[in-house]
Chain A
């Protein structure tokens, strides 16, 4: 019934457009109906999380490579901006973009080392990056201020606090819009198609002519740049940087948690996850203060998401909706090939995504590029 499904698709598009406009309206009017500047700072924190996890999702969502160390790029963006303002006396926003550009340049060699081999090494490099930067920024106190921290001068000195928050709320909102737009453009592009093919089956993608290594490196740099912009903007807003918070594994893991919770395959997945987790974080900070139980809850939530809904909330909910409304789409499954595949992989957990070959004692391919 092609006509029915066409109508359904059109009404779906209207629904989505309506939701988008409503979301924009809420986001734009939020500062004008918050009771106090405190709520505005919560909004800013959530927006910051949303930009960070959307930026993370350029790599995580498209290619399936999980980086636990994106906190490093945020920290570098923040410190880069702060140091360029204080040491090089650049104007605040020029410093922000210059710092992001520097991070983009740095991301090239990091990506070069991390992406040459697949999977596990990438995660290891991403964690190592945070740990090494923490060491450097703590130890090199004469330049970075070390554990005493770095004070970043405010970009608008004459402004009242409430006004200051409001300006940054809109700056973060604009950055989020740009990040989402960039993700959307890539998602529907030929480049994005190649990236998603890498996520599904990297060898196969390469055998069809996709330059997988270049693709991964490019999207890694894009991701790092957006993360650095978010970090730098945070530095300008917050005004006080401490290496322990800037280069923490935890901030990177929040990005992963938010994106995964919302759904890495969806444009708004990380944003949704940021709203849920970010709100939870800010709420519990007020209610319970800074306790180690934060870690426990973050860990448990991450574990539950990984075990039970690795595709996130959005597919889980849309799946539920689809089941309720039974769109009448007939199943095309004749022989369950997916099950066949799963069975095969269960038989050979040794080589999950590999060709199993009869005449090749070693199914591994040489490291290349």
Chain B
């Protein structure tokens, strides 16, 4: 892979997905900047989550292509895409409710071969790595608690730790600030900045505009299943098409 290619991050060409008669993604051609914090915004029903689900393999697009760092990931199963270095969180936050916090993280660890598959799941270095992430999230004291007993905010942090455990280069966050108190939003923003500084790329779907504008380097606006504007936050904020899409003008 040439140096030039490796600068390219997640990109799609003509990505289309219809559900019954409703076109959720309409030939969306878009690319995101590698190494940056990207944001994907748009009114409800504009296709953001469908876009997430298509590029992570949860949904197979009807047509179009998705590539990551030059590699075709269109229609690949989700675990392959995860192993290609793309991690994601879910809207409304999903953890494994009846597993302990530590085990929630160990699911994300990658076994190498058959022997590693059958070896004990609590390998020392993996456990240490998991504890490291828990400490960073500030929930290390909950290591042995079942995930379902955590508070909403703690579950959000746990989900993020779980995604990080699989060591992705690109992290897709679906509404990280949804249902979270302001103090925790600040905390999540700090974490995103730190992790970005450590070299991880982010793509964030979010409705909280303050968060989007303060956090992101590059913003893409979706309307009716396709991008209508993109650029740095300052430009997007004053773009008429964006205002139109949001206000329904």
> Is B50 a contact of A193 with CB atoms below 8 Å?
no
Chain A residues, CB < 8 A from B56:
207
Interface size on A (CB < 8 Å)? 47
Given A359-B48, A360-B49: A190 touches B149 (CB 8 Å cut-off): no
Interface flags, B124-161, vs A, CB<8A=1, else 0: 00000000000000000010010011111111000000
Interface flags, A239-283, vs B, CB<8A=1, else 0: 000000000000000000000000000000000000000000000
User: Does B1 touch A at the CB level, under 8 Å?
Assistant: no
> Is B96 a contact of A197 with CB atoms below 8 Å?
yes
Given A189-B117, A189-B119, A193-B103: A332 touches B149 (CB 8 Å cut-off): yes
In this complex, the interface size class of chain B, counting residues with CB under 8 Å from chain A, is 35 or more
Chain A residues, CB < 8 A from B47:
359-360
User: Does B110 touch A at the CB level, under 8 Å?
Assistant: yes
Chain A residues, CB < 8 A from B197:
none
Question: When chains A and B are docked, how far (Å) is the Cα of A337 from the Cα of B90?
Answer: 16
Interface flags, B35-73, vs A, CB<8A=1, else 0: 000000010111111100100111110000000000000
User: Does B187 touch A at the CB level, under 8 Å?
Assistant: no
Chain A residues, CB < 8 A from B166:
208-209
User: Does A344 touch B at the CB level, under 8 Å?
Assistant: yes
> Is B145 a contact of A332 with CB atoms below 8 Å?
yes
> Is B19 a contact of A361 with CB atoms below 8 Å?
yes
> Is B49 a contact of A359 with CB atoms below 8 Å?
yes
> Is B82 a contact of A335 with CB atoms below 8 Å?
no
> Is A197 a contact of B50 with CB atoms below 8 Å?
no
> Is B149 a contact of A337 with CB atoms below 8 Å?
yes
In chain A, positions 165-209 with a C-beta closer than 8 Å to chain B are: 185-186, 188-194, 196-197, 200-201, 203-209
Interface flags, B100-111, vs A, CB<8A=1, else 0: 000100111111
> Is B20 a contact of A361 with CB atoms below 8 Å?
yes
Which of B22, B82, B106 has the most A CB atoms < 10 Å from its CB?
Answer: B82
> Is B82 a contact of A209 with CB atoms below 8 Å?
yes
> Is A337 a contact of B150 with CB atoms below 8 Å?
yes
How many whole Å from A55's CB to the nearest CB in chain B?
18
User: Does B191 touch A at the CB level, under 8 Å?
Assistant: no
Chain B residues, CB < 8 A from A194:
107
In chain A, positions 19-61 with a C-beta closer than 8 Å to chain B are: none
> Is B82 a contact of A337 with CB atoms below 8 Å?
no
User: Does B218 touch A at the CB level, under 8 Å?
Assistant: no
Question: When chains A and B are docked, how far (Å) is the Cα of A366 from the Cα of B111?
Answer: 27
How many whole Å from A195's CB to the nearest CB in chain B?
10
> Is A208 a contact of B121 with CB atoms below 8 Å?
no
Chain B residues, CB < 8 A from A190:
106, 109, 111, 116-121, 123
Given A359-B47, A362-B19: A335 touches B106 (CB 8 Å cut-off): no
Residue of A nearest to B21 (CB): A361
> Is B163 a contact of A206 with CB atoms below 8 Å?
no
Question: When chains A and B are docked, how far (Å) is the Cα of A200 from the Cα of B96?
Answer: 5
User: Does B24 touch A at the CB level, under 8 Å?
Assistant: yes
> Is B88 a contact of A366 with CB atoms below 8 Å?
no
Chain B residues, CB < 8 A from A334:
151, 154
> Is B120 a contact of A209 with CB atoms below 8 Å?
no
27 interchain pairs, CB-CB under 8 A: A185-B118, A192-B121, A200-B97, A204-B95, A204-B96, A207-B56, A207-B79, A207-B90, A208-B79, A208-B163, A209-B79, A209-B110, A211-B77, A335-B151, A337-B149, A338-B148, A340-B152, A355-B91, A355-B92, A357-B49, A359-B24, A359-B49, A361-B22, A362-B22, A365-B59, A366-B59, A368-B77
